[in-house]
Amino acid sequence: MIKILVSDPLSDEGLKILKDIKEFQVDIKTDLKPEELKSVIKDYDALLVRSATKVNKDLLDAAVKLKVVGRAGVGLDNVDLGAATQKGVIVMNTPGGNTVSTAEHALSLILSLSRNIPQANASMKKAEWKRSKFMGVELYAKTLGIIGFGRIGREVAKRALSFGMIVEAYDPFLSREVAESLGIKIVELKELFQAADYITMHTPMTEETKHMISAEQFKIMKKGVRIINCARGGIIDEQALIAAVKEGKVAGAALDVFEKEPLTADSELLKLDNIILTPHLGASTEEAQVNVAIEVAEIVRDALLGRGIRNAANYPCLEAEVSKMLDPYMALAEKLGAFCSQLVEGRFQELDISYSGEIAAYDLSPLTMAISKGLLSPILKETVNFINAVSLAKERGIKIKEAKSSKENEFVNLIQLQIKTDKETRMVSGTLSSNKKTRIVKIDEYYVDLAPTDEMIYIENWDRPGLIGSLGTFLGKHNINIAAMTFGRDNPGGKAISVLTVDSPVSAETIEQIKKLENILTVKGIRL
Protein backbone atom coordinates (compact mmCIF):
# COMPACT_ATOMS: atom_id res chain seq x y z
CA MET A 1 0.00 0.00 0.00
CA ILE A 2 1.32 3.42 -1.00
CA LYS A 3 0.76 5.95 1.80
CA ILE A 4 0.05 9.59 1.04
CA LEU A 5 -0.11 12.37 3.64
CA VAL A 6 -2.02 15.59 2.93
CA SER A 7 -0.79 18.14 5.47
CA ASP A 8 -2.49 21.31 4.14
CA PRO A 9 -6.14 21.79 3.11
CA LEU A 10 -6.84 20.54 -0.42
CA SER A 11 -10.05 20.72 -2.43
CA ASP A 12 -12.22 17.61 -2.42
CA GLU A 13 -11.95 17.30 -6.20
CA GLY A 14 -8.23 16.63 -5.86
CA LEU A 15 -8.52 14.32 -2.88
CA LYS A 16 -11.07 12.18 -4.71
CA ILE A 17 -8.56 11.47 -7.50
CA LEU A 18 -6.17 9.95 -4.96
CA LYS A 19 -8.79 8.18 -2.87
CA ASP A 20 -10.16 6.42 -5.94
CA ILE A 21 -6.86 4.54 -6.46
CA LYS A 22 -7.03 1.24 -4.61
CA GLU A 23 -3.24 1.12 -4.18
CA PHE A 24 -3.29 4.37 -2.19
CA GLN A 25 -3.94 5.08 1.47
CA VAL A 26 -4.68 8.81 1.81
CA ASP A 27 -4.40 10.39 5.26
CA ILE A 28 -5.53 14.00 5.74
CA LYS A 29 -3.86 15.64 8.75
CA THR A 30 -3.93 19.39 8.32
CA ASP A 31 -3.48 20.44 11.93
CA LEU A 32 -0.10 18.88 12.67
CA LYS A 33 2.58 20.95 14.37
CA PRO A 34 6.10 20.71 12.86
CA GLU A 35 7.33 18.21 15.45
CA GLU A 36 4.20 16.09 15.05
CA LEU A 37 4.62 16.05 11.29
CA LYS A 38 8.26 15.09 11.67
CA SER A 39 7.32 12.14 13.86
CA VAL A 40 4.78 10.67 11.41
CA ILE A 41 6.39 11.44 8.04
CA LYS A 42 8.59 8.33 8.23
CA ASP A 43 5.61 6.18 7.24
CA TYR A 44 4.67 8.02 4.03
CA ASP A 45 5.65 7.68 0.39
CA ALA A 46 4.22 11.05 -0.68
CA LEU A 47 3.46 14.41 0.92
CA LEU A 48 0.99 16.95 -0.46
CA VAL A 49 1.29 20.54 0.77
CA ARG A 50 0.27 24.07 -0.01
CA SER A 51 2.20 26.99 1.48
CA ALA A 52 1.73 26.35 5.21
CA THR A 53 3.77 23.17 5.64
CA LYS A 54 7.52 23.79 5.72
CA VAL A 55 9.28 20.94 3.94
CA ASN A 56 12.73 21.66 5.36
CA LYS A 57 15.85 19.53 5.72
CA ASP A 58 14.87 18.27 9.19
CA LEU A 59 11.55 17.01 7.89
CA LEU A 60 13.15 15.43 4.83
CA ASP A 61 15.78 13.70 6.96
CA ALA A 62 12.98 12.08 8.94
CA ALA A 63 11.09 11.06 5.78
CA VAL A 64 12.87 7.76 5.17
CA LYS A 65 10.28 6.43 2.68
CA LEU A 66 9.36 9.69 0.97
CA LYS A 67 9.51 9.64 -2.83
CA VAL A 68 7.38 12.62 -3.85
CA VAL A 69 6.43 16.06 -2.54
CA GLY A 70 3.50 17.65 -4.34
CA ARG A 71 3.00 21.41 -3.92
CA ALA A 72 -0.51 22.63 -4.74
CA GLY A 73 0.63 25.96 -6.15
CA VAL A 74 3.52 27.40 -8.10
CA GLY A 75 5.85 28.69 -5.38
CA LEU A 76 8.39 26.44 -3.70
CA ASP A 77 9.56 28.86 -1.02
CA ASN A 78 8.42 26.41 1.65
CA VAL A 79 10.31 23.44 0.18
CA ASP A 80 14.06 22.91 0.56
CA LEU A 81 14.69 21.85 -3.01
CA GLY A 82 18.38 21.16 -2.46
CA ALA A 83 17.75 18.87 0.49
CA ALA A 84 14.99 17.07 -1.42
CA THR A 85 17.27 16.50 -4.40
CA GLN A 86 20.00 15.18 -2.13
CA LYS A 87 17.53 12.72 -0.63
CA GLY A 88 16.28 11.67 -4.07
CA VAL A 89 12.79 13.08 -3.43
CA ILE A 90 10.95 14.40 -6.47
CA VAL A 91 9.38 17.82 -5.87
CA MET A 92 6.48 18.75 -8.15
CA ASN A 93 4.36 21.87 -8.26
CA THR A 94 1.36 23.13 -10.24
CA PRO A 95 2.50 26.14 -12.27
CA GLY A 96 -0.57 26.22 -14.49
CA GLY A 97 -3.37 25.88 -11.96
CA ASN A 98 -3.47 29.46 -10.71
CA THR A 99 -2.17 31.27 -13.81
CA VAL A 100 -5.42 33.00 -14.70
CA SER A 101 -6.36 33.83 -11.12
CA THR A 102 -2.99 35.49 -10.45
CA ALA A 103 -3.04 37.39 -13.74
CA GLU A 104 -6.55 38.65 -13.02
CA HIS A 105 -5.52 39.71 -9.52
CA ALA A 106 -2.59 41.67 -10.94
CA LEU A 107 -4.96 43.45 -13.33
CA SER A 108 -7.37 44.10 -10.47
CA LEU A 109 -4.58 45.78 -8.54
CA ILE A 110 -3.54 47.82 -11.58
CA LEU A 111 -7.10 49.05 -11.95
CA SER A 112 -7.44 49.69 -8.23
CA LEU A 113 -4.25 51.75 -8.28
CA SER A 114 -5.42 53.72 -11.31
CA ARG A 115 -8.86 54.60 -9.97
CA ASN A 116 -8.23 54.61 -6.18
CA ILE A 117 -11.00 52.06 -5.73
CA PRO A 118 -10.10 50.77 -2.23
CA GLN A 119 -9.61 54.29 -0.89
CA ALA A 120 -12.85 55.53 -2.44
CA ASN A 121 -14.74 52.55 -1.03
CA ALA A 122 -13.35 53.19 2.48
CA SER A 123 -14.36 56.82 2.20
CA MET A 124 -17.88 55.93 1.11
CA LYS A 125 -18.25 53.54 4.03
CA LYS A 126 -17.67 56.57 6.25
CA ALA A 127 -20.62 58.27 4.54
CA GLU A 128 -18.27 60.65 2.71
CA TRP A 129 -18.63 61.97 -0.84
CA LYS A 130 -15.22 63.23 -1.97
CA ARG A 131 -15.08 62.85 -5.74
CA SER A 132 -12.20 65.25 -6.24
CA LYS A 133 -10.01 63.43 -3.76
CA PHE A 134 -9.99 60.27 -5.84
CA MET A 135 -9.12 61.57 -9.29
CA GLY A 136 -7.70 58.64 -11.28
CA VAL A 137 -5.71 57.94 -14.45
CA GLU A 138 -6.53 55.85 -17.52
CA LEU A 139 -4.70 52.74 -18.59
CA TYR A 140 -5.12 53.56 -22.27
CA ALA A 141 -1.79 54.38 -23.99
CA LYS A 142 0.15 53.89 -20.74
CA THR A 143 3.23 51.65 -20.74
CA LEU A 144 3.12 48.50 -18.66
CA GLY A 145 6.49 46.93 -17.86
CA ILE A 146 6.30 43.23 -17.11
CA ILE A 147 9.29 41.67 -15.36
CA GLY A 148 9.22 37.92 -16.02
CA PHE A 149 7.30 36.68 -19.02
CA GLY A 150 6.23 33.17 -18.09
CA ARG A 151 2.66 31.87 -18.01
CA ILE A 152 1.33 34.57 -15.70
CA GLY A 153 3.26 37.39 -17.36
CA ARG A 154 1.78 36.42 -20.72
CA GLU A 155 -1.75 36.36 -19.36
CA VAL A 156 -1.25 39.81 -17.82
CA ALA A 157 0.04 41.07 -21.17
CA LYS A 158 -3.02 39.79 -23.04
CA ARG A 159 -5.35 41.60 -20.68
CA ALA A 160 -3.29 44.79 -20.65
CA LEU A 161 -3.27 44.90 -24.45
CA SER A 162 -7.05 44.72 -24.44
CA PHE A 163 -7.04 47.97 -22.42
CA GLY A 164 -4.92 49.62 -25.10
CA MET A 165 -1.76 49.64 -23.01
CA ILE A 166 1.73 49.51 -24.48
CA VAL A 167 3.39 46.40 -23.10
CA GLU A 168 7.14 46.01 -22.64
CA ALA A 169 8.68 42.93 -21.07
CA TYR A 170 11.98 41.92 -19.59
CA ASP A 171 12.83 38.21 -19.59
CA PRO A 172 16.34 36.97 -20.42
CA PHE A 173 14.94 33.74 -21.91
CA LEU A 174 12.30 35.28 -24.15
CA SER A 175 13.18 35.63 -27.81
CA ARG A 176 12.45 38.82 -29.71
CA GLU A 177 10.50 36.86 -32.32
CA VAL A 178 8.11 35.36 -29.75
CA ALA A 179 7.61 38.76 -28.10
CA GLU A 180 6.81 40.46 -31.38
CA SER A 181 4.33 37.72 -32.30
CA LEU A 182 2.46 38.54 -29.08
CA GLY A 183 2.43 42.27 -29.77
CA ILE A 184 4.85 43.28 -27.05
CA LYS A 185 8.33 44.75 -27.00
CA ILE A 186 11.34 43.06 -25.43
CA VAL A 187 13.58 45.48 -23.53
CA GLU A 188 16.48 45.40 -21.12
CA LEU A 189 15.69 45.90 -17.45
CA LYS A 190 17.07 49.44 -17.23
CA GLU A 191 15.07 50.46 -20.29
CA LEU A 192 11.91 49.04 -18.74
CA PHE A 193 12.47 50.98 -15.52
CA GLN A 194 12.93 54.21 -17.47
CA ALA A 195 9.89 53.83 -19.75
CA ALA A 196 7.16 52.16 -17.70
CA ASP A 197 4.17 53.89 -16.14
CA TYR A 198 3.28 50.62 -14.38
CA ILE A 199 5.68 47.84 -13.39
CA THR A 200 4.43 44.39 -12.44
CA MET A 201 6.52 41.46 -11.15
CA HIS A 202 6.10 37.88 -12.33
CA THR A 203 9.41 36.20 -11.48
CA PRO A 204 10.34 33.58 -8.91
CA MET A 205 12.20 34.56 -5.77
CA THR A 206 15.89 33.68 -6.19
CA GLU A 207 19.23 35.09 -5.13
CA GLU A 208 19.27 36.98 -8.43
CA THR A 209 15.78 38.48 -8.05
CA LYS A 210 15.96 39.37 -4.33
CA HIS A 211 15.61 43.15 -4.04
CA MET A 212 15.93 43.51 -7.82
CA ILE A 213 13.89 46.69 -7.31
CA SER A 214 15.52 48.85 -4.66
CA ALA A 215 16.63 52.45 -4.15
CA GLU A 216 18.94 52.44 -7.17
CA GLN A 217 16.16 51.24 -9.50
CA PHE A 218 13.58 53.70 -8.13
CA LYS A 219 15.96 56.55 -8.98
CA ILE A 220 15.82 55.83 -12.71
CA MET A 221 12.06 55.27 -12.90
CA LYS A 222 9.54 57.82 -14.12
CA LYS A 223 8.09 60.13 -11.51
CA GLY A 224 4.58 58.85 -10.80
CA VAL A 225 5.29 55.20 -11.64
CA ARG A 226 2.99 52.58 -10.09
CA ILE A 227 4.36 49.28 -8.77
CA ILE A 228 2.51 45.94 -8.57
CA ASN A 229 3.77 42.69 -7.04
CA CYS A 230 1.73 39.49 -7.11
CA ALA A 231 4.80 37.25 -7.46
CA ARG A 232 6.97 36.83 -4.36
CA GLY A 233 7.82 38.97 -1.38
CA GLY A 234 11.40 40.17 -1.36
CA ILE A 235 11.65 40.95 -5.06
CA ILE A 236 10.93 44.55 -4.05
CA ASP A 237 12.92 46.13 -1.23
CA GLU A 238 10.00 47.24 0.95
CA GLN A 239 11.93 49.93 2.79
CA ALA A 240 13.14 51.44 -0.47
CA LEU A 241 9.56 51.33 -1.79
CA ILE A 242 8.23 53.10 1.29
CA ALA A 243 10.84 55.83 0.86
CA ALA A 244 10.04 56.22 -2.85
CA VAL A 245 6.31 56.50 -2.10
CA LYS A 246 6.88 59.08 0.63
CA GLU A 247 9.02 61.29 -1.60
CA GLY A 248 6.50 61.09 -4.43
CA LYS A 249 8.65 59.20 -6.93
CA VAL A 250 6.19 56.30 -6.81
CA ALA A 251 2.55 57.40 -7.16
CA GLY A 252 1.27 54.19 -5.66
CA ALA A 253 1.95 50.53 -5.10
CA ALA A 254 -0.19 47.41 -4.84
CA LEU A 255 1.27 44.41 -3.05
CA ASP A 256 -0.13 40.93 -2.62
CA VAL A 257 3.10 39.41 -1.29
CA PHE A 258 5.57 40.55 1.35
CA GLU A 259 9.08 39.97 2.63
CA LYS A 260 7.63 38.59 5.85
CA GLU A 261 4.14 37.10 5.90
CA PRO A 262 1.81 37.81 7.52
CA LEU A 263 2.52 41.52 7.85
CA THR A 264 3.15 42.65 11.37
CA ALA A 265 0.81 45.22 12.91
CA ASP A 266 3.57 47.83 13.03
CA SER A 267 4.48 47.56 9.34
CA GLU A 268 4.83 50.99 7.76
CA LEU A 269 3.17 49.64 4.62
CA LEU A 270 -0.12 49.70 6.54
CA LYS A 271 0.19 53.43 7.21
CA LEU A 272 0.45 54.71 3.64
CA ASP A 273 -2.85 55.44 1.91
CA ASN A 274 -1.48 55.08 -1.61
CA ILE A 275 -0.21 51.55 -1.03
CA ILE A 276 -2.91 48.92 -1.61
CA LEU A 277 -2.41 45.63 0.22
CA THR A 278 -4.02 42.20 -0.13
CA PRO A 279 -3.13 39.12 1.96
CA HIS A 280 -1.54 36.87 -0.71
CA LEU A 281 -4.76 36.37 -2.69
CA GLY A 282 -3.25 35.74 -6.13
CA ALA A 283 -4.34 32.11 -6.21
CA SER A 284 -7.36 32.56 -3.97
CA THR A 285 -10.21 31.87 -6.31
CA GLU A 286 -12.52 28.87 -6.13
CA GLU A 287 -11.48 27.86 -9.62
CA ALA A 288 -7.75 28.11 -8.90
CA GLN A 289 -7.99 26.06 -5.72
CA VAL A 290 -9.85 23.31 -7.53
CA ASN A 291 -7.43 23.47 -10.47
CA VAL A 292 -4.27 23.16 -8.36
CA ALA A 293 -5.80 20.40 -6.23
CA ILE A 294 -6.69 18.37 -9.31
CA GLU A 295 -3.34 19.04 -10.94
CA VAL A 296 -1.23 18.13 -7.90
CA ALA A 297 -3.29 14.98 -7.31
CA GLU A 298 -2.84 13.88 -10.92
CA ILE A 299 0.91 14.44 -11.06
CA VAL A 300 1.52 12.73 -7.70
CA ARG A 301 -0.72 9.83 -8.72
CA ASP A 302 1.12 9.35 -12.01
CA ALA A 303 4.57 9.59 -10.39
CA LEU A 304 3.72 7.01 -7.72
CA LEU A 305 2.20 4.62 -10.26
CA GLY A 306 5.14 4.91 -12.66
CA ARG A 307 3.18 6.72 -15.35
CA GLY A 308 5.72 9.50 -15.78
CA ILE A 309 6.95 12.62 -14.00
CA ARG A 310 5.50 16.06 -14.80
CA ASN A 311 6.00 19.53 -13.32
CA ALA A 312 9.03 18.39 -11.34
CA ALA A 313 11.33 21.12 -10.06
CA ASN A 314 14.31 18.79 -9.66
CA TYR A 315 13.75 16.30 -12.47
CA PRO A 316 13.53 16.96 -16.20
CA CYS A 317 9.95 16.79 -17.46
CA LEU A 318 9.31 15.49 -20.96
CA GLU A 319 6.35 15.66 -23.29
CA ALA A 320 4.73 12.29 -23.97
CA GLU A 321 6.12 12.00 -27.50
CA VAL A 322 9.63 12.97 -26.40
CA SER A 323 9.45 10.52 -23.52
CA LYS A 324 8.44 7.76 -25.94
CA MET A 325 11.51 8.55 -28.05
CA LEU A 326 14.02 8.79 -25.20
CA ASP A 327 12.80 6.07 -22.79
CA PRO A 328 14.73 3.23 -24.52
CA TYR A 329 17.87 5.38 -24.38
CA MET A 330 17.45 5.82 -20.61
CA ALA A 331 18.15 2.10 -20.12
CA LEU A 332 21.10 2.29 -22.49
CA ALA A 333 22.50 5.36 -20.74
CA GLU A 334 22.33 3.80 -17.29
CA LYS A 335 23.97 0.59 -18.47
CA LEU A 336 26.77 2.50 -20.21
CA GLY A 337 27.44 4.42 -16.99
CA ALA A 338 27.51 1.25 -14.89
CA PHE A 339 29.73 -0.56 -17.41
CA CYS A 340 32.18 2.35 -17.51
CA SER A 341 32.27 2.59 -13.73
CA GLN A 342 33.41 -1.03 -13.36
CA LEU A 343 35.76 -0.91 -16.33
CA VAL A 344 38.08 1.85 -15.12
CA GLU A 345 40.76 1.94 -12.44
CA GLY A 346 41.31 4.92 -10.14
CA ARG A 347 39.32 7.84 -8.80
CA PHE A 348 36.81 9.43 -11.14
CA GLN A 349 37.75 12.92 -12.25
CA GLU A 350 35.81 13.77 -15.40
CA LEU A 351 32.94 12.34 -17.43
CA ASP A 352 32.64 13.53 -21.02
CA ILE A 353 29.37 12.59 -22.71
CA SER A 354 28.83 12.90 -26.46
CA TYR A 355 25.40 12.48 -28.04
CA SER A 356 25.16 12.23 -31.82
CA GLY A 357 22.43 11.62 -34.36
CA GLU A 358 18.69 12.24 -34.20
CA ILE A 359 18.55 12.22 -30.40
CA ALA A 360 20.72 15.35 -30.30
CA ALA A 361 17.63 17.39 -31.21
CA TYR A 362 16.08 16.67 -27.79
CA ASP A 363 16.70 17.79 -24.23
CA LEU A 364 19.02 15.00 -23.13
CA SER A 365 19.37 15.92 -19.46
CA PRO A 366 17.43 12.76 -18.45
CA LEU A 367 20.04 10.66 -20.23
CA THR A 368 22.85 12.47 -18.43
CA MET A 369 21.08 11.76 -15.14
CA ALA A 370 20.76 8.08 -16.10
CA ILE A 371 24.45 7.87 -17.05
CA SER A 372 25.45 9.51 -13.76
CA LYS A 373 23.25 7.08 -11.82
CA GLY A 374 24.81 4.14 -13.62
CA LEU A 375 28.30 5.48 -12.99
CA LEU A 376 27.78 5.92 -9.24
CA SER A 377 25.49 2.97 -8.47
CA PRO A 378 28.25 0.34 -8.22
CA ILE A 379 29.86 2.54 -5.55
CA LEU A 380 26.99 4.25 -3.75
CA LYS A 381 24.37 1.51 -4.21
CA GLU A 382 20.86 2.50 -3.09
CA THR A 383 21.88 6.00 -1.98
CA VAL A 384 22.04 7.18 -5.59
CA ASN A 385 19.05 7.58 -7.90
CA PHE A 386 18.02 9.47 -11.03
CA ILE A 387 17.18 12.56 -8.99
CA ASN A 388 20.39 13.01 -7.02
CA ALA A 389 22.98 11.35 -9.29
CA VAL A 390 24.29 14.48 -11.01
CA SER A 391 24.51 16.48 -7.79
CA LEU A 392 26.26 13.58 -6.02
CA ALA A 393 28.77 13.35 -8.86
CA LYS A 394 29.50 17.06 -8.69
CA GLU A 395 29.80 16.90 -4.90
CA ARG A 396 32.50 14.34 -5.42
CA GLY A 397 34.41 16.59 -7.76
CA ILE A 398 33.51 14.69 -10.92
CA LYS A 399 33.24 17.14 -13.79
CA ILE A 400 30.44 16.28 -16.19
CA LYS A 401 30.62 17.65 -19.71
CA GLU A 402 28.09 17.20 -22.49
CA ALA A 403 28.36 17.64 -26.25
CA LYS A 404 25.73 17.11 -28.94
CA SER A 405 25.97 16.69 -32.71
CA SER A 406 23.09 16.13 -35.10
CA LYS A 407 25.44 14.50 -37.61
CA GLU A 408 25.25 10.76 -38.03
CA ASN A 409 28.60 9.02 -37.86
CA GLU A 410 28.80 5.23 -38.01
CA PHE A 411 25.47 4.90 -36.19
CA VAL A 412 22.13 6.67 -36.53
CA ASN A 413 22.28 7.52 -32.81
CA LEU A 414 25.23 7.10 -30.50
CA ILE A 415 26.04 7.80 -26.86
CA GLN A 416 29.76 7.93 -26.15
CA LEU A 417 31.24 8.14 -22.66
CA GLN A 418 34.81 9.06 -21.87
CA ILE A 419 35.68 8.63 -18.23
CA LYS A 420 38.93 10.06 -16.87
CA THR A 421 40.42 8.94 -13.57
CA ASP A 422 43.67 9.70 -11.83
CA LYS A 423 45.09 6.57 -13.47
CA GLU A 424 43.59 6.24 -16.96
CA THR A 425 41.06 7.34 -19.55
CA ARG A 426 38.57 4.85 -21.01
CA MET A 427 35.84 5.16 -23.60
CA VAL A 428 32.60 3.21 -24.14
CA SER A 429 29.99 3.82 -26.86
CA GLY A 430 26.48 2.46 -27.18
CA THR A 431 23.38 2.60 -29.34
CA LEU A 432 20.06 0.83 -29.85
CA SER A 433 19.52 -2.01 -32.30
CA SER A 434 16.64 -1.92 -34.79
CA ASN A 435 14.39 -3.57 -32.18
CA LYS A 436 15.34 -0.95 -29.54
CA LYS A 437 17.64 -3.28 -27.60
CA THR A 438 20.75 -1.86 -25.93
CA ARG A 439 24.09 -2.47 -27.60
CA ILE A 440 27.63 -1.55 -26.60
CA VAL A 441 29.40 -1.06 -29.92
CA LYS A 442 32.85 0.20 -28.97
CA ILE A 443 35.16 -0.13 -25.99
CA ASP A 444 38.17 2.16 -26.29
CA GLU A 445 39.46 1.58 -29.84
CA TYR A 446 37.87 -1.87 -30.20
CA TYR A 447 34.60 -2.41 -32.06
CA VAL A 448 32.29 -4.94 -30.42
CA ASP A 449 28.67 -6.05 -30.60
CA LEU A 450 27.71 -6.54 -26.98
CA ALA A 451 24.21 -6.92 -25.59
CA PRO A 452 24.87 -5.99 -21.95
CA THR A 453 23.36 -8.36 -19.38
CA ASP A 454 23.32 -8.65 -15.61
CA GLU A 455 26.57 -10.65 -15.38
CA MET A 456 29.62 -10.17 -17.63
CA ILE A 457 33.31 -10.89 -17.67
CA TYR A 458 35.56 -8.33 -19.37
CA ILE A 459 38.95 -9.60 -20.49
CA GLU A 460 41.97 -7.98 -22.09
CA ASN A 461 44.18 -10.58 -23.74
CA TRP A 462 46.70 -11.41 -26.45
CA ASP A 463 45.01 -12.60 -29.64
CA ARG A 464 46.28 -16.18 -29.68
CA PRO A 465 44.78 -19.46 -30.95
CA GLY A 466 43.09 -21.58 -28.30
CA LEU A 467 42.09 -18.73 -25.98
CA ILE A 468 38.36 -19.21 -26.50
CA GLY A 469 38.68 -22.95 -25.85
CA SER A 470 40.62 -22.48 -22.64
CA LEU A 471 38.13 -19.93 -21.33
CA GLY A 472 35.18 -22.17 -22.14
CA THR A 473 36.80 -25.16 -20.50
CA PHE A 474 37.71 -23.22 -17.37
CA LEU A 475 34.24 -21.72 -16.90
CA GLY A 476 32.58 -25.06 -17.61
CA LYS A 477 34.58 -26.68 -14.82
CA HIS A 478 33.32 -23.94 -12.50
CA ASN A 479 29.71 -24.53 -13.59
CA ILE A 480 29.45 -21.07 -15.23
CA ASN A 481 27.43 -21.11 -18.44
CA ILE A 482 28.45 -18.71 -21.23
CA ALA A 483 25.43 -17.06 -22.86
CA ALA A 484 27.37 -15.09 -25.48
CA MET A 485 30.86 -13.90 -26.35
CA THR A 486 32.05 -10.85 -28.28
CA PHE A 487 35.54 -9.96 -29.36
CA GLY A 488 37.44 -6.92 -30.53
CA ARG A 489 40.96 -6.54 -31.87
CA ASP A 490 43.14 -4.16 -33.84
CA ASN A 491 45.51 -6.56 -35.56
CA PRO A 492 45.75 -10.36 -35.71
CA GLY A 493 48.00 -11.59 -32.96
CA GLY A 494 47.98 -8.26 -31.13
CA LYS A 495 46.14 -7.02 -28.09
CA ALA A 496 42.41 -7.80 -28.01
CA ILE A 497 39.39 -7.73 -25.73
CA SER A 498 36.79 -10.38 -25.00
CA VAL A 499 33.48 -9.85 -23.22
CA LEU A 500 31.54 -12.86 -22.02
CA THR A 501 27.94 -12.68 -20.85
CA VAL A 502 27.24 -15.43 -18.33
CA ASP A 503 24.18 -16.85 -16.61
CA SER A 504 25.39 -16.65 -13.01
CA PRO A 505 27.51 -14.38 -10.82
CA VAL A 506 31.26 -14.80 -11.00
CA SER A 507 33.13 -14.73 -7.70
CA ALA A 508 36.22 -12.64 -7.06
CA GLU A 509 38.14 -15.88 -6.53
CA THR A 510 37.13 -17.09 -9.99
CA ILE A 511 38.19 -13.78 -11.54
CA GLU A 512 41.62 -14.15 -9.96
CA GLN A 513 41.95 -17.68 -11.37
CA ILE A 514 41.04 -16.51 -14.89
CA LYS A 515 43.85 -13.93 -14.68
CA LYS A 516 46.32 -16.79 -14.38
CA LEU A 517 45.32 -18.37 -17.69
CA GLU A 518 47.79 -18.09 -20.56
CA ASN A 519 47.59 -14.91 -22.71
CA ILE A 520 45.25 -13.16 -20.25
CA LEU A 521 46.24 -9.57 -19.36
CA THR A 522 43.32 -8.18 -17.35
CA VAL A 523 39.99 -9.55 -16.08
CA LYS A 524 37.05 -7.74 -14.52
CA GLY A 525 33.68 -8.98 -13.39
CA ILE A 526 30.95 -6.54 -14.42
CA ARG A 527 27.46 -6.64 -12.92
CA LEU A 528 24.61 -4.49 -14.23
Decide if 341 is inside a domain. Answer: yes
pLDDT digits (tens, 9 = 90+) for 433-491: 988 899 999 999 999 999 999 999 999 999 999 888 889 899 999 899 999 999 998 88
Decide if 310 is inside a domain. Answer: no
Confidence tier at 319 by pLDDT (50, 70, 90) = low
Co-location of 14 and 114 in the same domain: no
Co-location of 120 and 266 in the same domain: yes
Co-location of 27 and 45 in the same domain: yes
The average pLDDT across 138-160 equals 95
* Residue 227 contacts residue 272 (beta carbons within 8 Å): no
Co-location of 381 and 507 in the same domain: no
* Residue 170 contacts residue 143 (beta carbons within 8 Å): no
pLDDT digits (tens, 9 = 90+) for 381-414: 656 777 778 887 887 788 999 999 887 677 889 9
C-alpha to C-alpha distance for 511 and 478, rounded to whole angstroms:
11
Co-location of 197 and 175 in the same domain: yes
Strands 198-201 and 185-186: unpaired
Decide if 400 is inside a domain. Answer: yes
Decide if 444 is inside a domain. Answer: yes
Decide if 327 is inside a domain. Answer: yes
Co-location of 246 and 122 in the same domain: yes
Quote the domain boundaries for residue 247: 99-277
Number of domains in the chain: 4
What CATH number does the domain containing 34 carry? 3.40.50.720
Co-location of 91 and 164 in the same domain: no
Confidence tier at 290 by pLDDT (50, 70, 90) = very high
What CATH number does the domain containing 392 carry? 3.30.1330.90
Q: What is the DSSP letter of 131?
A: G
As a whole number of Å, the end-to-end CA separation of the chain is 29
Instruction: Please state the pTM of the whole predicted model.
Output: 0.64
C-alpha to C-alpha distance for 519 and 58, rounded to whole angstroms:
56
Co-location of 81 and 117 in the same domain: no
Co-location of 439 and 460 in the same domain: no
pLDDT digits (tens, 9 = 90+) for 164-193: 999 999 987 676 777 888 999 999 999 999
Q: How many CB atoms lie within 10 A of CB 170?
A: 22
Three-state secondary-structure class, residue 168: strand
Co-location of 249 and 152 in the same domain: yes
Co-location of 465 and 430 in the same domain: no
Active-site positions read: 232, 261, 280
Co-location of 82 and 219 in the same domain: no
- State the amino acid at position 384 in one-letter form: V
Task: Assign 3-class secondary structure to 297-321.
Answer: HHHHHHHHCCCCCCCECCCCCCCHH
